[in-house]
Structure 1
Amino acid sequence: MRRTLYVLVWFSMLVGLGFAGTTHGITSAEESKLQISDIAGRNTYLMSDGSMWSLIDGRHAIRTPGKVAAISGYEYAGIGMTQDGRLVEWDIGKGPKVVPGTSGVKQIAGYYWLKSDGTVWNGSEKAKNLSGILLIASADQEFAALSSNGELLLEDNYKKGQFKKLGIVENPQGVKSMTVHSGRVALLRDNGDVVVYETSNFDDNGRIIPVTVAQNAAHIVYASNEPTDLLIVTLQDGTVWTTGVYKDRWKLKEQVSGLSGIVRTSIYGNAKDLSEGFYAQRSDGSWVHHTNGQNKSVDVPVVKALSVSVSDAKPYVGDTLEVSIQETYTNGAKIKVPVKDAQIDIDKPYLMNIQKMEH
C-alpha cells in the first residue's frame, strides 16, 4: 500500500538555541481510494492494491504490502496467490509471506492449490491420483476437483487420496467456479446455470443425477446450516437467494432480505452455521456483513490519527534529530511509517534542514 505522508513541523526558537514545538500529520487521500477485494475472516482482507490486512495472535491487526491476487482461509490461517503465480501463507503467529520455490499457482481453495500444469498440492505435498485438473474446491474438510476431460471428483473422507467420480461434466471448460460441502458439489457455468451433484441423489443404476437448481447466477458458495446445508446463490440481477431444506434443496427457496446490487458473497471461514452471517460485496466494491436480516458495513481501514515525535525536544545548534512517525488506524492497528515515505516540510528551514538518509 503506497502512501504519501505530509508532516509539517513548527518551531519556536529562543535565542537561536532553545526548542519547543508540536507536530501534526496529514495522510494523503490515496488511501480512501482503496477497496476490499475479498474477505477471508474477521479483519482479514485482501485490498485492491494487492496488500493484505491480517491478525497476529488473533488480536493485533497488521498490514502487509504485496501483490496478492486471491486469498482463502480465515483470520488464524490461510493461503493466497500472488499476481505472478506464487503461493502465500499466513497463520496465527505470522503475517502473509510468499512461500519460497512456489510458482505457476493458478487457483487456491481451502489449503489446496492448483498449478497451471494441472497438478494439485496441499502445502509442499503433491496430491496423488490427480492430473489434468481445471478447477478445485475445498470446504468443510472436503475436496473436489474437475478435470479437463470432464471428470468431477470428490475425495473420500475416510480414504485420503482416493476419489469418487460423481459424473462426467459436459464442456468442463465452460465451468466458471465450483463449491463443495458435505457430499455436494455445485458448479457455476459461464451461462449462469448452477448444477448440483449430490452423492445421495442417484438413479436405479447408482449414477448420480445432476440437478440444475438456478439460472442467471453470478456467484455461488455453500454454507453450513441445520437441518440442510444451504447453497447461497447471487443472481446476475444483484439479488441473493438460498436453497431450501430437505426436498427444497433443489431450488432457490428464499431471497435474502436487505441485499441488492450484490456481485458475490463470502462465508466466514470459521463459522459453524449461517446464524453467524456472511459477507456480501456490492457492485460498487463496498462490503457488508449480513446477519439475521441486518447489514453492517465492513469499512476499509484508514488512518484516524498520526503522531510524529522527535528524539530531542530541546536541541542545540548542530544537533541531529530523529523523527518517528506512527499511524493509528480505524481497526486499532498502530503502524510505524518509514521517514522515507513521508514528505516533511519545515516551518523555519533556516533553523533546521533535512539530511539525506544513509542506506
Structure 2
Amino acid sequence: MRRIVFGATALAAALLASTAFAADPIKIGRVVHMTGPAAGGDAASHSPNVELWVSQVNGRGGLMVGGERRPVELVEYDDKSNPAEMIKAVQRLATQDEVDFMLTPWGTGFNAAAAPIFAKYGYPQISVTNITDEIEELSERFPNMFFTLGNTTGFVEGLRDTLNKLRDNGAIGNKVAMVNVADAFGIELAAVAREVLPAAGYEIVFDKSYPLGTADLSPVVKGAKATEPDAFIAFSYPPDTFALTEQAIIENLDVGAFYTAVATAFPAYAGKFGSKIEGNLGAGGVNLDLEPMTEYRTAFNALHGNQPEYWAAATYYASLQVLEQAIEGADSTDREAVTEYIKANSFDTALGTISFDKHNESKHYWTVGQWHDGQFNAVAGVGVPVAVEPVAKEGWN
C-alpha cells in the first residue's frame, strides 16, 4: 500500500500555500483504485469529484466547525483494485491514521466489504457506486450506511421500461441476449433481470456470466450473436463495457437495443468509439437541463477542462456535499453526531434536494441513458425527469 497525504488537490494546494490555516485540519481518508480493473471507474466517477470538492471547500477556508474554518486534509491509499488490500487500507485509515471521516470506495462489492469496518469505528458510509436490493438488510446491520444510486430492481425495471417503449414502437422484438460480469454488481442485476424481463414477455435466448478481468470477450459476443437477439444487455464493469462494445462492432451485432452498464456514460467511451455508439443504451444518464446539474458540470469543467461522466459522478459529488453540510450542520466532527444529522435532514446537492428514508435516497435517480449527438441523456429514471425518449439502435455506422 502506498500512503499519499494531500492537503488538497493541485489547485487547492496552491490555495493552502498562500493561506495560513490556524485551525487543525479535518482528516478525511480514502481508499482509491489507482491501478487494477476498477481504476477506470474510480478515475471517472470518484477522483475528479473529490478534487473538485476539496478545492471548493479549502478555497472557502475549510469546513465551518466550532466557529472556525478547518481545512480538509486527504489521506489516500491505492488498493490496486484488490478487495483484501482495500480492507487493510480502510482498517489502517481508521486505526493508524485516525482520520475524522472516510469516503466510500468505488464499486458494489468494495462497499459491502468495507461496511463492517466503517460500522465498527462509527464512520458514516455514504455509498454511491453501490447498487443492491439488500438496502434494508444492510441498513439494519450497518446503521451508519447510506445509499444514493438506487437499487437493483429499480435499474432493471428502468431497462425493462426502455425496452418496452422500443418494442411498442416496433423497433425490437422479444429476444434478449444477456451477459454479466461475475461480481456482486453483475450477479445481482442479472438475477433480477431473469425474473423481470420474462414477466414482461421477453425471452432470454442467451445468458452468460464471465469473470471480472476477462481479457477476451469475443466468445461472449459471438455466442450472443448466434442466437439472433433483438436486444443485447450486458451488466458490465468499465473494462468489459469497452471490450464488449468493440467486439459488437467487429462482429456487426445487429440489434435494435444495445445496452452496457458501467462506463457507457463515460466521455472516454464516446471518445473511443465516436459515432459508432449513436443509440447505445447504458446505465445511468443525467438530465442536462436541470439547474443544479448545470452548475455542477460548469464547476467541474472549470477545474478539469472537460466534462464529468454522465451518471455516478454527479451523485458522488452530491454525497460529498451531504457530508460537508452534515459536518457543518452538526457543528462537529463527532461521527455519531454527523451520522444522526444525515438521517434527520435534507441536503441541497447537484441532484437537487435529497434526503434519506431509512438510509436510502431511492427517490431521485436515473436508470438508463442513451447516446445521441455526443451526449448521454437519461431516458428512464425514478422520481426524476428524463431528458429524451429512447430510439432504436440503427447499425454501427
TM-score (norm 2): 0.26
- Structure in which a larger fraction of residues adopt strand: 1
- Structure in which a larger fraction of residues adopt helix: 2
TM-score (norm 1): 0.28
| Structure exhibiting the larger radius of gyration computed from Cα positions | 1
